[in-house]
Amino acid sequence: MANIRLENVTKRFGRVTALQSINLEIHHGEFFCVLGPPGAGKTTLLRLIVGLEKPDAGTIYIDGEPVNDVHPRNRDIAMIFQNLALYPDKTVFDNIAFPLRERKLPAEQIKARVAQVARMLHIEHLLERKPGKLSGGERQRVAIARALVRTPRAYLMDEPLANLDALLRLEMRIELKRLQEQLNETLVYVTSDQVEAMSMADRIAVLYKGVVQQCDTPDNVYNLPANRRVATIVGSPPMNFLTCQVQRTDGQLNLVHSGFGFRVIGSDHPLWDCLCRALPAVQEVLVGVRPEDIRLYPEQPTDVIAFPARVAVSEPLGAETIVDVQLGRDIIKVITPPTQYFAEKQPVWVAFDMAKVHVMDVQTGARIYTTGAPEQLQCILPGTCA
């Protein structure tokens, strides 16, 4: 088990800054995901931890000890690479045993350890085969077994499931999570798949253009995203963002969009001060609402305030339907149950879950405020918006 800490770590490749002042602490026994789009710097981060790259600035600590000048071999960290490679002319047994043979362990001990790891990954029956005669998922398991076999201080995995088909990925996701719980070892897992990160991680670091945008539990990353970038990377389809005018009239503060309006009630409201202070220089904010936190009604509902809109496109996905709706001058995405049918151009009424509305800075994208209860922002009836 290991605790891994990065302090102000920066890595450049020529003019490209792959990682910028990274500060992270990965705890003992944690399933830690690094989530980010292609080119975010995920692989570079792992290569720095394992010792294949040196930081240009900052320090990496393993169990409190600075390791910038420690050779990869002596860091004792196993890495499963993005493009895993097994030795094609060795059997599965020999592939898995390879790291132990390199360390010149006695044959009996090697045999016992390989058997143990093979059992853990359900590949005992494959030990005599060559990699060419394995399925993609089986090959993946062998690669993982090879990393597990030598009980290092921590495991790093670089998109290990990226090349598998959807069903196998799902299966391996569950197995990896189970395996990590069983091993109780530190695992740093890199992925560009938000579902993988959300379903497996104890904590997620969202990386974008070499900068950690947020490092938090899956729950917080999803419900309290630090900024617009995080809210776009996590969630599918991503959060809707609607630019609203901040209007202060007659002692009232309103957020006004071409299709809806919200009222900030009372000068003791958490939003009041920061928005009033920003006026008149900043006259806009972004309102963010997730597609699953919006409801569509074919008729005007009587129990909630809803805003008139029109269906643009409907995309049935089986378990749910994603409906694009023209609301004022913007198009928003709404997840609806498949039982509800909406035709193109159909007039609809849009109601927001008012306990899940985010307000973000229009310039920086930083989240300023999230409602936690329905009464924290009041809908302004259509027609009364300016």
Ligand X SMILES: Nc1ncnc2c1ncn2[C@@H]1O[C@H](COP(=O)(O)OP(=O)(O)OP(=O)(O)O)[C@@H](O)[C@H]1O
Q: What's the closest the beta carbon of residue 229 comes to ligand X, in angstroms?
A: 14
Residues 185, 190, 194, 195, CA torsion sign: negative
Of the candidates 131, 137, 63, 144, the residue with the CA atom closest to the CA atom of residue 99: 144
Helices 166-183 and 136-148 pack at an angle, to 10 degrees, of 20
CA–CA separation, 287 vs 377, rounded Å? 12
C-beta closer to ligand X: residue 82 or 283: 82
C-beta closer to ligand X: residue 13 or 87: 13
Residue of the chain from 16, 52, 107, 381 that contacts ligand X (CB under 6 A): 16
C-beta closer to Mg ion: residue 127 or 144: 144
- CB under 5 to 8 A by kind: which of Mg ion, ligand X, none does 50 bind? none
Binding of Mg ion at residue 192 (CB under 5 A)? no
CA–CA separation, 47 vs 32, rounded Å? 16
Residue 330: count of CB within 10 angstroms of its CB: 16
Q: Map residue 254 onto helix, strand or coil.
A: strand
- Name the one range near ligand X by CB under 6 A: 11-19, 25-33, 147-155, 287-295: 11-19
- CB under 5 to 8 A by kind: which of Mg ion, ligand X, none does 227 bind? none
- The interface with ligand X within residues 188-227 (CB under 6 A) comprises 192
Angle at 175 between CA 173 and CA 181, to 5 degrees: 105
Strand partners, 157: 80, 189
- Name the one range near Mg ion by CB under 5 A: 38-46, 55-63, 69-77, 314-322: 38-46
- The interface with Mg ion within residues 217-256 (CB under 5 A) comprises none
Compose the 64-103 pattern: x for residues touching ligand X by CB under 6 A, - for all others: ------------------x---------------------
C-beta closer to Mg ion: residue 43 or 240: 43
Half-sphere exposure of residue 230, counting CA atoms within 13 Å on the CB side? 30
C-beta closer to ligand X: residue 50 or 96: 50
Binding of Mg ion at residue 43 (CB under 5 A)? yes
C-beta closer to ligand X: residue 161 or 334: 161
Question: What number of chain residues touch ligand X (CB under 6 A)?
Answer: 13
Residue of the chain from 18, 200, 215, 348 that contacts ligand X (CB under 6 A): 18
C-beta closer to Mg ion: residue 37 or 308: 37
Residue for token digits 């409190």?
Answer: 64
C-beta closer to ligand X: residue 48 or 348: 48
Residue 302: enclosing H or E segment and its boundaries?
none
Question: What number of chain residues touch Mg ion (CB under 5 A)?
Answer: 1
Q: What's the closest the beta carbon of residue 159 comes to ligand X, in angstroms?
A: 7
Residue 43: enclosing H or E segment and its boundaries?
helix 42-50
C-beta closer to ligand X: residue 197 or 294: 197
For residue 276, the one-letter residue type is C
3-state secondary structure 323-345: EEEEECCEEEEEEECCCCCCCCC
Residue for token digits 């159909």?
Answer: 346
- The interface with ligand X within residues 24-43 (CB under 6 A) comprises 36, 38-43
CA–CA separation, 36 vs 23, rounded Å? 16
- The interface with ligand X within residues 42-61 (CB under 6 A) comprises 42-44
CB 131 within 8 A of CB 86: yes
- CB under 5 to 8 A by kind: which of ligand X, Mg ion, none does 41 bind? ligand X
Binding of Mg ion at residue 95 (CB under 5 A)? no
Pairing of strands 186-191, 31-35: parallel
Residue for token digits 């039982």?
Answer: 339
CA–CA separation, 139 vs 118, rounded Å? 12
CA distances from 302 to 143, 272, 291, 351, 375 (A): 58, 29, 22, 11, 17
Which residue minimizes CB distance to Mg ion?
43
Residues near ligand X (CB under 6 A) are 13, 16, 18, 36, 38-44, 82, 192
Residues near Mg ion (CB under 5 A) are 43
